[in-house]
Amino acid sequence: MSYEVHRKEALDACHGLAAYGLGSGIGGHVSVRVPGEELYFSNALDKTFEEMTLDDILLLDFEGRLVEGDRAISPGIGFHQGIYKLRPDCGAIVHTHGHWITAQSALGRPTRNLHNLCTYFHGHTAIAPDDDIEAIAPAMKDGDIAIIIPWHGAITMGQDIAEAAALHVTLDYACRLDIQVPQDAPIMPDDHAATIQGLLAKANYLQLTWDLMKRKAARAHDGQVIVPNVAA
């Protein structure tokens, strides 16, 4: 399979995240692992997700070095290769400073189980004190799909970019609920949450959400940038 397939996947994720309002500022990274190689694609630092083109998606090695080109990359990108080294099951990673995700990070805790979609993260969210792999590694358990970094943002991980990106927009939704719903609201019981997790897996929700992200991005593209149309 051509490396270029993975470059396009990373771009699709940038545009899909932007369509959900998660790409309007400088910062944040998407990465897609090249299967069987110690390589991954990620985005340049100097553009927003809304502005990304294929030329802005760069190939790096597992030491965080550019394999091609001389563009600026985020100084905080090191956790990508760090996670890939620790988690062979991980094929893609998304990190943003989305509004609701950042608000949740200020609480320094996982989202509450307030809706069916929140159950994805129940028992599968780490809290890491910083965004370097030295802080993430001891906090992350096998099976974790999300990492919240207090006062910073969040990371989602998946077996491929469809999963990682769909989890990210789902986490943003879960964070919005957590911030807006009163703290004394009842929480979904664990046994009910386990049932819902099984139903979501059968429904193929994450793949369907990834497909929706790409449709939203196509509709939001004005020929130059993604112009998100999101609810307030």
Quick one: which H or E segment has residue 32? strand 29-33
In this prediction, residue 51 carries a pLDDT of 96
Task: Note the Cα 130 to chain centre separation in Å.
Answer: 16
Q: What number is the average pLDDT over the span 225-231?
A: 83
Question: In 10 A of CB 89, how many CB atoms?
Answer: 10
pLDDT of 175: 98
pLDDT score, position 206: 96
For residue 90, CA distances in Å to 34, 136, 140, 159 come to 11, 15, 13, 5
**Mean pLDDT of the chain, nearest integer:** 95
Domain boundaries, given as residue ranges, for the chain: 3-220
pLDDT at 231: 61
Element (H, E) at 154: strand 153-158
Q: Who wins on pLDDT, 109 or 229?
A: 109
Reported residue count of the chain is: 232
Beta-strand pair 92-96/153-158: antiparallel
pLDDT digits (tens, 9 = 90+) for 153-206: 999 999 999 999 999 999 999 999 999 999 999 999 999 999 999 999 899 999
In the chain the first and final C-alpha atoms are separated, in Å, by 41
Q: Could you give the 3-state DSSP secondary structure of residue 152?
A: coil
Q: What is the pTM of this model?
A: 0.96
Strands 125-127 and 146-149: parallel
pLDDT at 62: 96
Cα 228 to Cα 17: distance, rounded to the nearest angstrom: 9
- For 65-105, what is each residue's pLDDT tens digit? 999 878 999 999 999 999 999 999 999 999 999 999 999 99
Does residue 224 surpass a pLDDT of 70? yes
| Three-state DSSP state, 216 | helix
Contact (Cβ atoms closer than 8 angstroms) between residue 213 and residue 19? yes
**How many of the other CB atoms lie within 10 Å of CB of 166?**
26
> Alpha-carbon torsion 79, 83, 86, 88, what sign?
negative
Q: What is the pLDDT of residue 70?
A: 85
Assess whether pLDDT exceeds 90 at residue 106.
yes
CB distance 125 to 148 below 8 Å: yes
3-220 domain in CATH 3.30.565.10?
Answer: no
pLDDT over 60 at 232, yes or no? no
- Counting residues of the chain whose pLDDT is more than 90, the rounded percentage is 92
Q: Angle, to 10 degrees, between the axis of helix 99-107 and the axis of helix 161-180?
A: 60
Residue 118 has pLDDT above 70, yes or no: yes
